[in-house]
Amino acid sequence: MDIATILGLLAAFGLIFAAMDDPAAFVDTASLLIVVAGSTSVVLYRSSLGEFLGAIAVAGKTFKNKLDPPEKLIEQIVELATLARKDGMIALEGQEIANPFLAKAVAMLVDGADEAIIKSSLEREKSVTRARHAMGAKIFSAWGEIAPAMGMIGTLVGLVQMLGNMSDPKSIGPAMAVALLTTMYGAILANVVMLPMAMKLENQADLEESNNELIIEGILFIQSGGNPRVLSDFLAAFLSPKIRAKMAPAS
């Protein structure tokens, strides 16, 4: 699990609720329907059903931390390169590899695919994965733009109701609640949930793309019969300077 995402989300909502003397007073069914159900409907309208459901599935990545640290990938690729140089590509068959992209690349090595096929296949896989994550991020970014707009629509609805019933003091309070709470719900949904989620997905997509590029370079190095002793230094460009410095003594 991604602790940063969970702690950040809980802390944000905790601080909001802590500022409320009576949280029950901030619950209004009509406002929730306008903002939450309304914005969901508009997002669904601007997307296809497949894109919408795919974005919901991709959203789970914001709560999971499945990305492999690049230094761990380099260590594993160097081990695979050493094994392949010593016992041949067939020795890579049956190796336990958790990363699905790396597992697919190693399977192609075992099958004896040439460099051009390996590179084109993995580049295509990398591009498709990136596009899928980018689509999810775009949908949540759009959701973050739509939610405040739905809040403003709810505010206008509440104001019209309030102005249309000024002669009835009992109706002014509920209408004013709709007017104010829809704006608050829209701001919270956009700035606490949807926009941070879109940013997180974009960041994770960048990191995963970098990992996949690292794997492609490492696999092509193995396929070309390169010396495993220099592979770690060859792939060190994908590491931050701090991590690169830590790995230097072991290289």
pLDDT at 82: 93
Total domains in the fold of the chain: 1
Q: Does the pLDDT at position 210 exceed 70?
A: yes
Q: Could you tell me if residue 22 is inside a domain?
A: no
Contact 163, 200 (CB under 8 A): no
pLDDT digits (tens, 9 = 90+) for 211-222: 999 999 999 999
Mean pLDDT taken over the chain: 88
Q: What percent of the chain has pLDDT over 70?
A: 96
pLDDT at 250: 46
- In the block, residue with structure tokens 């403003």: 152
pLDDT digits (tens, 9 = 90+) for 144-189: 999 999 999 988 888 887 777 777 767 677 777 778 889 999 999 9
Q: Could you tell me if residue 213 is inside a domain?
A: yes
Q: Could you tell me if residue 169 is inside a domain?
A: yes
Q: Could you tell me if residue 137 is inside a domain?
A: yes
- In the block, residue with structure tokens 């390996």: 118
Which two tokens mark 216?
């492609």
Confidence of residue 5 (pLDDT cuts 50, 70, 90): confident
Q: Which distant-in-sequence residues (6+ apart) come within 8 Å of 166 by Cβ?
A: 172
Q: Does the pLDDT at position 251 exceed 50?
A: no
Q: Does the pLDDT at position 1 exceed 80?
A: no
Question: Average pLDDT, stretch 28-41?
Answer: 92
Domain holding 41, by residue range, is 29-69+116-250
Q: Could you tell me if residue 34 is inside a domain?
A: yes
